[in-house]
Chains A and B, each alone.
Chain A
């Protein structure tokens, strides 16, 4: 049985993985629309600091999120590997800037461990779980919880 067939028939899920700083993150493949090379991002005056700006995607305006800022990581100059991942979350199409995009991985439910849940940091709600891989830990991100409801509303009005 192919992996695709396994996905259809079981609890196996697919995750697009990307890098930020030295860590690897995974997002549900069903929410990923496309991956773009780095392009010019027009800043939006008065936007929250986690908003890099907007891009023109085939005539549509897409807001791009500064994922490093959101994850409280230091800033990083974009390079050849930098990508904008276009995702759909909370009924919006947005872009998230990442250092690089890697492979799509298949994870079975037992492979996914619950998130650390240490302290009561509200911002850690978007970590859906972790998966121990040969090449290190994969941090699974719940895109819908990347922003609060209020932040998503603000995002849509930019």
Chain B
């Protein structure tokens, strides 16, 4: 193996490690557990549902929600099973957005007008149906500036799609679209405390991807999100 090949391989390994660290950090956050650790008064007589270690409650007991869970701020779209679209950003990071908050998907356009004096994650304005969509480089928005993965975001980027979310005010620039998959609420590691990164609703455990709370994300941008809440 030549020196340059070794270097390239080392960079790939570094990338993979960085991704693992990032995902693990999301999973290790303090969250309210969607589990039943003891028998609840309303629970049907399913003896095997009593567990000693944390585990996901089977769907049949979904109607029974521990009091602690009531305070977990699930977005409205997560109250029952929902569908989500996975997409790739930054060349390596997989995110998901619920279909309920998806407006439309566009192929990448060169008609985006950059705006001077804005954050580096703001790519510019795209005219669409009588309005200007604000296009966001979501990778730069979510990945902290000091993170090693940021290196892959330097230089020219090649976006393929723009995912228009909410009422069509914002578009998320992404590399690739993934699959649409169904998600049960208890298959998501929801974040109880969203004082940091409020745009991050939780982590879809099976797919190992971060789930965006698009409504909060849009609200943050409208209010003028503080620098430390973004990747900057």
Q: What is the interface of chain A, defined by CB distance below 8 A to chain B? A: 23, 70-73, 113, 115-121, 123-127, 130, 132, 136-137, 139
Is the interface on chain B under 10, 10 to 19, 20 to 34, or 35 or more residues? 20 to 34
With beta carbons under 8 angstroms apart, the residue of A70, A118, A125, A139 that contacts B113 is A139
Query: Taking the complex as formed, is B118 at the interface, i.e. its CB lies under 8 A from any CB of chain A?
Result: yes
Residues of chain A within 8 A of B134, CB atoms compared = 116, 118
Q: A116-B122, A130-B125 are in contact. Are A123 and B117 (CB under 8 A)?
A: yes
Q: Assess the A132–B127 pair: CB atoms within 8 A.
A: yes
In the complex, chain B residues 159-217 whose Cβ is within 8 Å of any chain A Cβ: none
Assess whether B127 is in contact with A118, with CB atoms less than 8 Å apart.
no
Q: Which residue of B lies closest to A141 (CB)?
A: B116
Number of A-B residue pairs with CB-CB distance less than 8 Å in the complex they form: 67
In the complex, residue of chain A having the shortest beta-carbon distance to the beta carbon of B226: A120
B224, CB-defined interface residue at 8 Å: yes
List, in ascending order, chain A residues with CB within 8 A of B115's CB: 115-116, 118, 124, 127, 139
Contact A72 B122, beta carbon cutoff 8 Å: no
Given A130-B132, A132-B127, A132-B132: A119 touches B221 (CB 8 Å cut-off): yes
Evaluate contact between B132 and A116: CB separation under 8 angstroms. yes
CA of A118 to CA of B111, assembled, Å: 19
Quick one: which of B118, B119, B134, B225 has the most chain A CB within 10 A?
Answer: B118
Q: Which residues of B contact A136 (CB under 8 A)?
A: 111, 113
Apart from A116-B132, A127-B115, A127-B116, what are 14 other A-B pairs with CB-CB below 8 Å? A71-B117, A116-B134, A117-B224, A118-B119, A118-B122, A119-B122, A121-B118, A123-B118, A124-B115, A127-B117, A132-B127, A137-B132, A139-B113, A139-B116
- Which residues of chain A are within 8 angstroms of B122 by Cβ–Cβ distance? 116, 118-119
Contact A137 B116 (CB under 8 A): no
- Contact (Cβ within 8 A) A23 B114: yes
CB pair B125–A119 under 8 Å, yes or no, is: no
Q: Does chain A have a CB within 8 A of B97?
A: no
